[in-house]
Amino acid sequence: MLAALVCAKDEGVSASEFVDMPALRGKDYGKTKMRYPDYTLTESGLQYKDLRVGTGPIPKEGEIVVVDWDGYTIGYYGRIFEARNKPKGGSFEVIPAFEEAISTMSLGGVRRIIVPPDLGYPDNDFNKKGPRPTTFSGQRALAFVLQNQSLIDKTLLFDIELLKISPT
């Protein structure tokens, strides 16, 4: 970060302004997409691994599902922003990564997903689509990562357990 600051006042640039660095332009510096070899990579960029393969049916389009989930910020020290096995309540419209992951899970399964920013929260706002952290500290941790304009990686990790499938 220090290399991107200019301290020369005679050029009319203050120390707090960033210098354009052509070599870094368009490279999404500091936000590289990691490929985890033991995960399945989908066409959309979602990576997943089944921690426990379910034995029940797979949800059909339009069915309502009940899930338990936990979430972590990969690029911010792996900080948890929601824990499983806690009452969460409510229904929500899900982010694209959740929908994609659940659509191929079997009932009773637990799947770990790695969510790139483009499959995550729209406009970096967890209030628009879920899942939404239930605790204040979880909301703060997730908001810090999603709304941070610096080089923090916005990739997220979720563990999802498919508990129930209900026809509509």
pLDDT digits (tens, 9 = 90+) for 128-161: 888 888 888 888 888 888 888 777 788 889 999 9
Per-residue pLDDT at 102: 94
Please give the Cα distance from 154 to 117 (Å, whole number). 6
DSSP state letters, 27-92: TTTT-PPP--TTSEEPTTS-EEEEEE---SPPPPTT-EEEEEEEEEETTTTTEEEE-SSS---S--
pLDDT tens-digit map of 102-114: 999 999 999 999 9
Q: Residue ranges of the chain with pLDDT lower than 70? A: 1-32, 86-92
Please give the Cα distance from 71 to 159 (Å, whole number). 7
Which residue is it, tokens 């209030």? 127
Q: How large a percentage of the chain has pLDDT more than 90?
A: 30
Question: pTM for the complete prediction?
Answer: 0.76
Q: What is the DSSP letter of 138?
A: H
Please give the Cα distance from 120 to 93 (Å, whole number). 12
Please give the Cα distance from 98 to 118 (Å, whole number). 13
Question: Which residue type, as a one-letter code, is found at position 49?
Answer: K
- Asked, as a colleague might, if the bond just before 131 is cis with ω within 30 of 0, I would say yes
Question: Which residue type, as a one-letter code, is found at position 75?
Answer: G
First and final C-alpha spacing in the chain: 52
